[in-house]
Amino acid sequence: MSKVKHIDDHKAYEAYASMIDNSKNSTLNQIETAAYISDIVLQLRNMAKSADLKFLVYFLEMAFQEAFSQSTKEEDKEMHG
């Protein structure tokens, strides 16, 4: 069995956290957080799909759709008042 190189989640989160300025409003933080989650979950879904883990792909797709929906819903609120 081949070994999978693990991503340092702590470093990835620190990089994400440094992008968010604490002075921003909470709606913008929610948008950025949902967008970040959708990016990560999409990568996980693609990994699961390539490994033919169908049931896991289903759940990750659901998580991706929800995170993406939340990120665009909040963006629409920002743009349209």
User: Above 80 in pLDDT, residue 67?
Assistant: yes
Q: Residue 23 carries which DSSP code?
A: T
Contact 44, 60 (CB under 8 A): yes
User: Above 60 in pLDDT, residue 80?
Assistant: yes
CA neighbours within 13 Å on the CB side: how many for 6? 4
Number of alpha helices (DSSP H) and beta strands (DSSP E) in the chain:
3, 0
Over residues 47-73, the mean pLDDT reads 96
Segment 1-50, tens digit of pLDDT: 445 455 556 666 666 666 655 545 677 788 889 999 999 999 999 999 99
Over residues 68-78, the mean pLDDT reads 76
Over residues 54-77, the mean pLDDT reads 89
Cα–Cα dist 67/42, whole Å: 10
Collapse the DSSP code of 25 into the 3-class scheme (helix H, G, I; strand E, B; otherwise coil) and give the result: coil
